[in-house]
Amino acid sequence: MSRETTEKVKYGNWVSKWLLYMPAATALFFLALSSVSRWFTIAAAFFFIVFAYFALAYLRFSPSGGDLQTKIRDLVLKRLEWNGRGQALDIGCGNGALVIKLAGQYPQAQVTGIDYWGGNWGYSREACRKNAKIEGVSARTTFKKASASSLPFKDSYFDVAVSNFVFHEVKDAKDKREVLKEALRVVKKGGIFVFQDLFLAKTIYGDLDDLLETIRGWGVREVNFENTSKRAFIPGFLKLPFMVGAIAIIYGKK
């Protein structure tokens, strides 16, 4: 990749600022009331621990604390076996990290990122475009606002579709399996897909074997599974189900 400026890319953090500010402000609020009752002191301590947990997670996800976010995202690319010719899609691209890496790795590819943006993370299309420019891949990357529940592309349009840590967030789809089905709709026959999400969370996707059978039932030729939550580089404290303790990859060929 040839960089176009000396500016640094900003890919954000999966721990939103809200998850830091909210418990910190609540801890301070209860601390201010601690002379009234010791229960307020206990409440202040509880919210301080919550704050400390998310602050540590924020640090470990960020480039200065081990860059776990990039390492987890890279697991998707490691599963991708592609000749790099054609169109690729990243669903829920955030600030464009995966789109930009794909474009860098496959110099002949055109890569599109879609995202609903506007949530707590502070991701935006502007940030995607800026990052793509910094990394020198603007000409081969496109960013569109859309929901993963209803992709603005015709059936079988893409050679490749990827997604990282997004489907469980899609609020306008009650059944997250439908988001997966929508993602596969836009992949062409014989095209490749690699999706990482909280596929081990039964409350979201139901039974895993049943999920894989359901996908095969949609006519998908090859469906594989990898339990990425077991990766040794992920520290124990992040393996809670609401963090990355239930992540896994579903990949294959349509």
Ligand X SMILES: C[S@@+](CC[C@H](N)C(=O)[O-])C[C@H]1O[C@@H](n2cnc3c(N)ncnc32)[C@H](O)[C@@H]1O
Report the interface residues with ligand X, using CB under 6 A.
14, 73, 92-94, 97-98, 115-117, 119, 121, 123, 147-149, 164-166, 169-170, 172
CB 200 within 8 A of CB 176: no
* Residue whose CB is less far from ligand X, 43 or 226: 226
Non-local (6+) Cβ contacts of 92 within 8 A are: 114, 115, 116, 148, 163, 164, 165, 166, 167, 169, 170
Q: Phi and psi dihedrals of 23, rounded to 5?
A: -65, -30
For the bound state, the minimum distance from the C-beta of residue 234 to ligand X, rounded and expressed in Å, comes to 15
For the bound state, the minimum distance from the C-beta of residue 113 to ligand X, rounded and expressed in Å, comes to 9
For the bound state, the minimum distance from the C-beta of residue 196 to ligand X, rounded and expressed in Å, comes to 8
How far is residue 187's CA from residue 181's CA, in Å, rounded to a whole number? 10
Helix (H) or strand (E) holding 110: strand 109-115
* Residue whose CB is less far from ligand X, 170 or 223: 170
For the bound state, the minimum distance from the C-beta of residue 30 to ligand X, rounded and expressed in Å, comes to 29
CB 191 within 8 A of CB 44: no
